[in-house]
Amino acid sequence: MNDLLQSLEITASAMKAQSTRLRYISENIANADTPGFRRKLTTFQAVRDGIDPTGEIQSGPVRLDDRELPRVFDPSHPMADDTGYYDGSNVEMLIEISDARQAQRSYEANVKMFDQARRMTSSLLDLLRR
Distance (Å, whole) CA 130 – CA 121: 16
Spatial CB neighbours of 104, under 8 Å, sequence gap ≥ 6: 22
Question: Binders of other proteins among 6-35, rule CB under 8 A?
Answer: 6-8, 10-11, 13-14, 17-18, 21
100 binds other proteins (CB under 8 A): no
Least gap, CB of 70 to other proteins (angstroms):
25
Which burial class, exposed, middle or buried, applies to 14 when counting CB atoms under 10 A from its CB (0-12, 13-18, 19+)? buried
| Cα distance between residue 33 and residue 89, in whole Å | 6
72 vs 109 by CB, closer to other proteins: 109
Chain positions contacting other proteins, by CB under 8 A: 1-4, 6-8, 10-11, 13-14, 17-18, 21, 43-46, 55-57, 102-103, 105-106, 109-110, 112-113, 116-117, 119-120, 123-124, 126-127, 130
